[in-house]
Copies of this chain bind each other. A is one copy, B any other.
Amino acid sequence: MGKVTIKDVAKKANVSVTTVSNVINNSGRTSPDTIRKVKQVIEELQFSPSASARNLRDKSSHLIAVVVPFLEKGRLQDNPFYWQLVLGIEEGARNHQFHVILLGVDEEENFSFVSERHLDGLIVVGTFEGTPILKQIQALDVPCVFMDSYMSEFNLYQVLLDDEMGGYLGTKHLIGLGHQRIALLSGKLQQNGVNYKRWLGYRRALEEAGLPYDPELVREEPVSTAGGYQASQYITDPRMNITAVFVFSDVGAMGLIKGLHELGVHVPRDISIVGFDDLFYTDYMIPSLTTVNQDVIERGNIAVRLLLDQIVGESRDDARKVVLPVSLKVRKSTGPAPNVQSAP
């Protein structure tokens, strides 16, 4: 029975393919009667136009790709954060009649698929400045939006979080509870990177409270579940006098709490913990996790909008970066600093 084409429709409706095409795209001038007839035949024949043929003509595919670089093994597998991000992107794209290709790439990837498939745009998730992948992407000259990435170049399109504020809020919360020795599990502090911004917020909160900044309290090891777990050793070093830890990811915070638990350290009685992301399960951790909330799905939606702005050509140069607000979700993993508690 083979695919039905525009020709079949034209024949059955007794019109030209031009007219059928016009009806489909409601372009040109067509009489209401003809439109009705053609539409009916389209319905009868269950005709739907071939995307390949259109792409070939239009040099556009209505296809965007979510590019997920596999930089560190396991980094992406581990974090459910990305699933939500991708769902948000898919949702946004669908609302605009775009489809999204999901693509894992490694260092040696060549991006020929972009021109081969006439991709209309790319959303790049979780990459770093200065990686070969980034250079390749930039050479591509295709609309692009970066998410959860570490880009300082100011002319790139990005959907960001108010990371500085996140760092500030979490730290301020802890200070308000009387904590003075607040450790940071920050991940790599790359200039202008996400973690760097959060770190700035941390410093601002300290300064505002008149507390000294001690670089010894900051750990730049990458924060995965396992990383957080291992950090428990360092955190409980008695010479450090740490009473609170701000971990820049919820998965890291979960690992840390587990590690502390095994060392017999009670959260929050002995040590308070703040996370970052507000993953779906943080409310179900024991204790439930105080963390910095972000709307991940919304982020995905906005990334698509930003990409489509470029594709459709309405590049509003004033809004290359969209910064989303954060808020602090206070739960049970934070409490008064031990010395304060025993004061009265």
Q: Is there a chain B Cβ closer than 8 Å to A261's Cβ?
A: yes
**Complex contact A254–B284 (CB within 8 A):** yes
Across-interface contacts of A3 in B (CB, < 8 A): 59, 115
CB distance from A254 to the nearest CB of B (A): 5
From residue 64 to 80 of chain A, which have CB atoms closer than 8 A to chain B?
66, 76-78, 80
- Among A11-19, A30-38, A49-57, A210-218, the stretch that binds chain B is A49-57
How many A residues face the partner with a CB closer than 8 A? 52
Asked if A91 lies at the interface with its beta carbon under 8 angstroms from chain B, I say yes
Nearest Cβ in chain B — how far from A76, in angstroms? 7
**When A59-B3, A83-B82, A118-B51 are in contact, do A103 and B99 touch as well, CB less than 8 Å?**
yes
Q: Which residues of B contact A87 (CB under 8 A)?
A: 76-77, 104
Contact flag A52-B55 (CB < 8 Å), given A78-B280, A87-B104? yes
Instruction: Tell whether, in the assembled complex, residue B86 and residue A225 are in contact, meaning their CB atoms are under 8 Å apart.
Output: no
Max count, chain B CB within 10 A of own CB: residue among A51, A56, A59, A118: A51
A319 at the interface (CB under 8 A from B): no
CB distance from A134 to the nearest CB of B (A): 19
Q: Decide if A257 touches B280 in the complex (CB within 8 Å).
A: no
Whether a CB of chain B sits under 8 angstroms from the CB of A102 is yes
- B contact residues around A63 at 8 Å (CB): 101
Taking a contact as CB atoms under 8 Å apart, the answer to whether A225 and B280 are in contact is yes
Nearest 4 pairs between A and B by C-beta?
A83-B83, A80-B80, A52-B55, A48-B112
Chain B contacts of A281 at CB under 8 A?
Answer: 225, 251, 254, 281
- In the assembled complex, the CB of A185 is this many whole angstroms from the nearest CB of chain B, namely 15
> Closest B-chain residue to A109, C-beta based?
B94
- Determine the chain B residues whose CB is within 8 A of the CB of A84 once the complex forms: 77
- The reply to whether the CB of A219 lies closer than 8 angstroms to some CB of chain B is no
With A56-B52, A56-B53, A280-B78 as given contacts, are A104 and B90 in contact (CB-CB < 8 Å)? yes
> Across the interface, which residues of B come within 8 angstroms of A83, CB to CB?
77, 80, 82-83, 86
Which residues from chain B contact A261 at a C-beta distance below 8 Å? 286
Also in contact, A229 and B284, with CB within 8 A (given A99-B117, A104-B90, A117-B99):
yes
What residues on B are CB-neighbors of A56 within 8 Å?
A: 50, 52-53, 56
With a cutoff of 8 Å between Cβ atoms, the chain B residues found around residue A113 in the complex are 51, 99
Residues of B within 8 A of A50 (CB): 56, 116, 118
Residue of B nearest to A94 (CB): B104
Question: Is B118 in contact with A52, judged by CB distance below 8 angstroms?
Answer: yes
Complex formed: what's the CA distance from A239 to B50 in Å? Answer: 63
Known: A94-B103, A99-B103. 4 other contacts (CB 8 A): A50-B116, A82-B83, A225-B284, A261-B286
